[in-house]
């Protein structure tokens, strides 16, 4: 089957997870004319979508096409589907994959659109799928990542993202399924790099939010974004990623958006911390998950395991998990030993910073 035939063969797919991003992707795909079976965890949200065509909890104001069929039955959503898009919070990906496993067809293409690294195992989302699912079900895994706020994608505003899969044919299929006049999709075969970029940028968004909450100015935010890119690159290269990935949409692009955009949940968490609010109070008021909070712990632990220097991540970790004063974190960052900006030694070959 050639690519054109493969694309035409997919007239319906599954989206697992009806948070803001899952709902936005379901809306986008249905607007393209695809049938979308949407797995919704909360029965009341499923009923709301069914009766009002709107997810008022996670994406209010966006009317979902009739092609989106909500269901709380995972079997009904994923059975016999050629493509399943997983958009659960990263900390429930393992449980969700386990529930789906009995109903997935062996040749299924699994596309993760969740951005995070699992606590304790320190696995990316595609690695979690590989760990949970039988080999025949985990054979085809891709990731969709890049600078993309759910509301803007749902509104049809111009957006560009990356579809990554070691198997180029699968990456191209994802590219063509999601691409539209409002959503430009590039392909990559660097799955680990794209996933690391999507996870680490959330940690840096918390740091940028703290900086803005403290009123430190634009210079400080620009420095954090740049040094955040350095940390992202170092960690990714240590895991075998292509360093050029971090100069692309899933790296620098998503980093800039999440560190500066007012729709960023992770930046919002940082802003509140910088203004003196307690983390627990801030999280209690949020309907949606700020992935960076849990991912900070994972990235911190992974950096320690690999011996990767990630000072910004370390300070965010201490603020979140050790009640460190954000201002002291700033002082500790600024007064570290002075060094070259770019290390070209043999141990650093392949990394940018």
Q: So what's the pLDDT on residue 347?
A: 46
161-219 pLDDT, tens per residue? 999 999 999 999 999 999 999 999 999 999 999 999 999 999 999 999 999 999 999 99
Q: Where are the beta strands (DSSP E) in 103-225?
A: 109-112, 141-145, 159-164, 183-188
Token output for 70: 């909500």
Cβ proximity of 229 and 351 under 8 Å: no
Choice among 31, 201, 287, 324 that is catalytic:
201
pTM over 0.85: yes
Name the stretches of the chain with pLDDT < 50: 346-347, 349
Full set of structural domains in the chain with CATH:
3-189 (3.40.50.720), 199-336 (1.10.1040.10)
Q: So what's the pLDDT on residue 43?
A: 96
- CA–CA separation, 112 and 86 (whole Å): 5
- CA–CA separation, 215 and 211 (whole Å): 6
Q: So what's the pLDDT on residue 139?
A: 86
Angle at 34 between CA 29 and CA 38, to 5 degrees: 65
**Annotated catalytic residue 31:** no
Neighbours of 299 (CB within 10 A): 29
Q: So what's the pLDDT on residue 117?
A: 97
Question: Which among 139, 137, 88 is positioned nearest to 112, based on CA atoms?
Answer: 88
208-238 pLDDT, tens per residue? 999 999 999 999 999 999 999 999 999 999 9
Q: Which helix (H) or strand (E) holds 63?
A: strand 59-63
What secondary structure letter does DSSP report for 318?
A: H
- How buried is residue 342: exposed, middle or buried, by Cβ count under 10 Å (0-12/13-18/19+)? exposed
- Sorted by sequence, the CB contacts under 8 Å of residue 103 that are 6+ apart come out as 74, 75, 78, 79
């Amino acid at each position: 089957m050639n690519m054109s035939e493969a694309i035409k063969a997919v007239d319906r797919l599954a989206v697992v997870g009806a948070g803001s991003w899952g709902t936005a992707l379901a809306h986008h795909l249905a607007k393209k004319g695809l049938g979308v079976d949407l797995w919704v965890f909360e029965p009341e949200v499923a009923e709301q979508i069914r009766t009002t065509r709107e997810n008022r909890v996670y994406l209010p104001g966006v009317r979902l096409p009739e092609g989106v069929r909500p269901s709380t039955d995972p079997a009904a959503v994923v059975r016999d589907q050629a493509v399943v898009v997983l958009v659960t919070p990263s900390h429930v990906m393992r449980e969700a994959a386990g529930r789906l496993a009995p109903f997935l067809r062996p040749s299924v293409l699994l596309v993760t659109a969740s951005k995070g690294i699992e606590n304790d195992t320190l696995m990316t989302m595609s690695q979690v799928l590989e760990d949970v699912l039988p080999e025949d079900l985990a054979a085809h895994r891709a990731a969709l990542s890049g600078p993309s706020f759910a509301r803007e994608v749902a509104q049809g505003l111009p957006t560009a993202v990356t579809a990554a899969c070691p198997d180029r044919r699968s990456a191209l299929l994802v590219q063509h399924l999601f691409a539209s006049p409002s959503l430009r999709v590039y392909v990559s075969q660097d799955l680990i790099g794209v996933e690391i970029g999507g996870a680490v940028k959330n940690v840096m968004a918390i740091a940028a939010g703290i900086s803005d909450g403290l009123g430190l100015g634009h210079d400080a935010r620009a420095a954090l974004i740049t040094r955040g890119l350095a940390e992202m690159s170092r960690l990714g290269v240590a895991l075998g990623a292509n360093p050029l990935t971090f100069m692309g949409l899933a790296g620098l692009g998503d980093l800039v958006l999440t560190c500066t955009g007012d729709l960023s949940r992770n930046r919002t968490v940082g802003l509140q911390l910088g203004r003196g609010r307690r983390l627990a109070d801030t999280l209690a008021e949020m309907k949606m998950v700020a992935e960076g909070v849990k991912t900070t712990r994972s990235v911190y632990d992974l950096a320690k395991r690999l011996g990767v220097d990630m000072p910004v991540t370390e300070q965010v970790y201490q603020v979140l998990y050790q009640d460190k004063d954000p201002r002291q974190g700033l002082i500790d960052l600024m007064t570290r030993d002075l060094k070259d900006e770019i290390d070209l030694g043999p141990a650093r070959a392949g990394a940018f910073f």
